[in-house]
Amino acid sequence: MGTASGDQPAGASSDKLRHVESMSELPSGAGKISGINAVVLGESLAAEEHDLVYPSAEFSADALVPSPKQYQKMYERSINDPSGFWSEIAETFYWKEKWNPSEVCSENLDVTKGPVQISWFKGGKTNICYNAVDRNIEAGNGDKIAMYWEGNEPGQDGKLTYSELLDRVCQLANYLKSVGVGKGDAVIIYLPMLLELPIAMLACARIGAVHSVVFAGFSADSLAQRIVDCKPKLVITCNAVKRGVKPILLKDIVDAGLAESEKQGVAVGLCLTYENQSAMKREDTKWQAGRDVWWQDVVTSFPTKCDVEWVDAEDPLFLLYTSGSTGKPKGVLHTTGGYMVYSATTFKYAFDYKPSDIYWCTADCGWITGHSYVTYGPLLNGATVLVFEGTPNYPDSGRCWDIVDKWFYNVVGDSRCPISDTWWQTETGGFMITPLPGAWPQKPGSATFPFFGVQPVIVDEKGQEIEGECSGYLCIKKSWPGAFRTLYGDHDRYETTYFKPFAGYYFTGDGCSRDKDGYHWLTGRVDDVINVSGHRIGTAEVESALVSHPQCAEAAVVAVEHEVKGQGIYAFVTLVDGVPYSEELRKSLILTVRNQIGAFAAPDKIHWAPGLPKTRSGKIMRRILRKIASKQLDELGDTSTLADPGVVDQLIALKDC
């Protein structure tokens, strides 16, 4: 067995591993790693998920952080001198006015000591669009490609240089100003992955407006919820998009969402609609005169120069709604200065970015990944980004690699490409625990060690920190620049959800194990949120949609493992008395969820339930439901505390019905 101290792994000569000697002492006091098979990028194949995968000497030599020693030096400074560490990075960007040096960071994460508050670079004025676009042009990179676009159909493509991107952003920004959108106003963006989506985000940021991108797979009801909450000045959408061969009529969904929000007292008087000619012609698009405006008819006539609105570091940048453990989505609010610095820095180091790279992130901008690692992080580094509209299996599975994660390292990557498992959240703004691919060996499936400035701790149920090898609740002590500042319009919920469970810490809602070598392994949500193909879906949202069906009396939703989506949605449904089980009703229940939330939230399984396992106080024992859904019937545990233990046998009997 090879070790991190330079012992020779099977099949590799010692000279190939000389650079590994510098890795004998790993971050966070992990010490020597032993009893594990070691492989080196480009030299041998990883055969087991427990293999320790080392970067090659060539890769490390060229990496921005080439060794654990360099990481440890930078990490320790980021913890011991956060003001100095982050100020030096922030100074590489343009600030119209510099922050107060004595107030680089201000925070209170302890609810027992007053309201939770976080601020970074207080007093500084900047603009993230200027730093992401103008600054690159001024550096002489105006002719560099900022974005390539690959459409749904093979052969559909496009590209924009940084200069061309600025022109497009300024035209839209000028249009937005002409219709009364200004600093602090909300704009909802409901677009597929056309170049117009990041353009719209940047245009809002340029004039100080707050964008809220809504994933264009959400239903009209979900869109209406977000409109009612943030009350936007306008909605930006397109008439339709194709997912493979299937057309999705986005404008129809927006029309229904606007009608529903108006019923709830929030009327939006303007819908800017991009004509996506590859999916639908404008003459086939439903239209409301006086409210609906074609993008191509108005935006392209505006000047390609637009003054920048300089905003405070703590001014809002965007709202992004994420699922919660209640039925109402949470409006996560990120501010400008700290998010700018953090998203740029995490992109640079976690992806070991070099100026010659062409970078592809497959995420949709409707999610935080698309914000931080399609739009802002890459452009702030002057990168060239690929934006992909299509799906990975159209027109066939060869369109995008269908061999990922477990097989990519050996097969597609020819053993040369590092696979990084990162941990972070919508709320964190950027990677929190992540490999730095040239610095230390990776364990497949482990997020490894914390990013600069991040102090993860594992606590027990009483909130006591646990040292060494352990499992528990993942919390963060001390703030970081990319942290969200509040939940829009509901600071009490912000404190209750994230800071009251463990006073003095940010509670992530995730379980975590730390192994004997100091590596972090995320063990899943400890609250009621399911992660389906990267989409965080609150169980309460799905349950609420199911119960809205007139023939559903009660529902409970749990997560199950899914070989493609990571987690699938498994729903236990109790019907109204006298209603028989039927395949038609099963389909109708699933359709209800699709209509109210979106297709991605549709349950994979409806399990008929005459009753649900509840304690005598009425609490649903989800632990038992998870075991039934996962076919772990020999692990049900004690059911004697249930009000009606016989319910469990009934559920098991109906499992395959």
The residues that are catalytic are 527
506 strand-pairing partners? 476
- DSSP letter, residue 412: I
Angle ∠(249,254,260) on CA atoms, nearest 5: 135
Query: For residues 274 and 596, what is the distance between their CA atoms, to the nearest angstrom?
Result: 25
Sign of CA dihedral 593, 595, 601, 605: positive
Helix (H) or strand (E) holding 497: helix 491-498
Rounded CA separation 570/638 (Å): 22
Which tokens hold the place of 282?
């404008």
Our CA angle for 223, 257, 363, nearest 5°, is 35
Structure token pair of residue 403? 């061999």
The alpha carbon of 263 is separated from its chain's Cα centroid by a whole number of angstroms, namely 31
User: What is the CB-side half-sphere exposure of residue 155 using CA atoms within 13 A?
Assistant: 3
CA torsion angle 348 350 354 355 (round to 10): -40
Q: How far is CA 172 from the centre of its chain?
A: 26
Question: Which one, of 643, 629, 655, 645, lies nearest residue 556 by Cα?
Answer: 629
**Among 13, 79, 7, 158, residue whose Cα is nearest residue 456:** 79
CB-CB neighbours of 408 under 10 Å: 13
Residues 6+ apart with CB under 8 A from 155: none
Q: What share of the chain is helix, strand, coil (3-state, %, to 5)?
A: 35, 25, 45
15 CB neighbour count, 10 Å cutoff: 9
In the block, which residue shows the tokens 């594992």? 458
